[in-house]
Amino acid sequence: APAPPPARHLFSDPAEVEALRRNLLAWYDRCKRDLPWRTLAATELDADRRGYAVWVSEIMLQQTQVATVIHYYNRWMQKWPTLQALAQASLEEVNELWAGLGYYSRGKRLQEAARKVVSELAGRMPRTAEDLQKLLPGVGRYTAGAIASISYGQATGVVDGNVIRVLCRLRCIGADSSSPAVIDRLWDMANVLVDRSRPGDFNQALMELGATVCVPKSPLCRECPVKQHCQAWRRKLFGKAPPVPDVEDCGVGDCPLCPPATEPWDSSLGVTNFPRKAAKKPPRVMRTATCVLERRGCHGAPEYLIVQRPSSGLLAGLWEFPSLPLAQDLQEEKEREELADHLQAWMGQPVAAKGLQFIGEVIHIFSHIHQTYVVYSLYLDGDVTLDPALSPSRWVTEDEFHASAVSTAMKKV
């Protein structure tokens, strides 16, 4: 078994833990942001509805800013106020409402899990973090802990990006914060710290602190309600040679939680020495040719062809202009020819590469892909019969396009 971490990285003094809880909760009561899912979780008497509301908000908040989520959350809860309503929705409706929020598989999995609760669990949400994680597809350790503590009062901790930052600073944890060894320690710590009588508020307070005070670049340490418990802050105040023993490095050189000896404390960074992460892999670079096919619709307004992506993989099930991934370093002429061949398959009639009009390039960054869309347009005169054996496709007006389940990247195109 690995050796336990040195005491300076732990919260081992019960009096300190109690004081930290008190200070953090008092701050939260004074300063918390009004967010629609918090209001609902605090006022809704039905436990399943509370769980559902927190679940929807937590899934939307993964990888997405609070300010963006509010609008989507309100629309979602208006359309599907209960698990039962969501279970009856079609995937197409879910994708339409999710359009623009990114990471589309989240919406799909939420809906699949709602169906499972209705069909296999008699419409009753599991009540503990362990069961939530075990029984609901798409619900990981963090989401399960958030739902169980906020909706059902289970005294269980949570660890998300904000909590990682706060805890690493509170306890000067400078080893790679994405490594399983550090993540496991942070979960242990979150479970020790969580307030037994107000676990949901405590977890939200810790995350709120990370989102509004202990922010990545310029944390507001002077206003921080837990600064007296923060070793990074003390170390910044006392400089490189700390006068008290508990803020020194562990000193043995093989501490699993201290910064690596090759990258010691940088006094110009202050508390932002923590957390530290191993360098990210650079994103994959991709080029995709895409063609906006236009025709005059029966009412005279222009219409555009959109086709549906496969039901798995990136942007699964969303609609897009006919598109074709390109090999790197293709000559422009070759790109056109390949796109023309691709379009020919859709339309069942020859497409002249020269007829494709180059419009420009659109760059869109997915989390792990740097995508460049090379955009062409083609105006079609006369009727076109689309091959029904290919993926689903349809003609839409501009308004219909915007109301469809299309990605932000396609809207840019």
Q: Is 206 in the site for ligand SF4 (CB under 6 A)?
A: no
From the list 59-67, 212-220, 251-259, 375-383, the region that binds ligand SF4 by CB under 6 A is 212-220
Pick from 97, 147, 206, 271: which binds ligand SF4 (CB under 6 A)? 271
Looking at beta carbons only, is 271 or 291 nearer to ligand SF4?
A: 271
Q: Is 54 in the site for ligand SF4 (CB under 6 A)?
A: no
Contacts (Cβ under 8 Å, ≥6 apart) of 360: 375
Q: Is 139 in the site for ligand SF4 (CB under 6 A)?
A: no
Classify 196 as helix, strand or coil: coil
Token pair listed for 383: 């009727």
Pick from 51, 107, 145, 219: which binds ligand SF4 (CB under 6 A)? 219
Q: Is 230 in the site for ligand SF4 (CB under 6 A)?
A: yes
Pick from 118, 148, 170, 351: which binds ligand SF4 (CB under 6 A)? 170
Q: Is 226 in the site for ligand SF4 (CB under 6 A)?
A: yes
In contact, 23 and 44? CB cutoff 8 Å: no
Q: Determine which one of 58, 96, 208, 303 is catalytic.
A: 58
Looking at beta carbons only, is 223 or 333 nearer to ligand SF4?
A: 223
Looking at beta carbons only, is 222 or 299 nearer to ligand SF4?
A: 222
Pick from 21, 49, 227, 309: which binds ligand SF4 (CB under 6 A)? 227
Neighbours of 8 (CB within 10 A): 19
* 16 in catalytic set: no
Contacts of ligand SF4 in 140-169 (CB under 6 A): 166, 169
Q: Which helix (H) or strand (E) holds 96?
A: helix 91-98
Distance between CA 127 and CA 131 in Å, rounded?
Answer: 7
Looking at beta carbons only, is 218 or 331 nearer to ligand SF4?
A: 218
Give the HSE-up count for residue 218: Cα atoms under 13 Å, Cβ half-sphere.
Answer: 0
Q: Is 235 in the site for ligand SF4 (CB under 6 A)?
A: no
Longest dimension (CA), the chain: 83
Nearest distance from residue 145's CB to ligand SF4, in Å? 21
Residue position matching structure tokens 């999710």: 98
DSSP string, 148-184: HHHHH--------HHHHHHHHHHTT--SBTTSHHHHH
Residue 14: is it exposed, middle or buried by C-beta count within 10 angstroms (0-12/13-18/19+)? exposed
Q: Which residues bind ligand SF4 (CB under 6 A)?
A: 166, 169-170, 213-214, 219, 221, 224, 226-227, 230, 232-233, 271
**Active-site amino acid positions:** 58
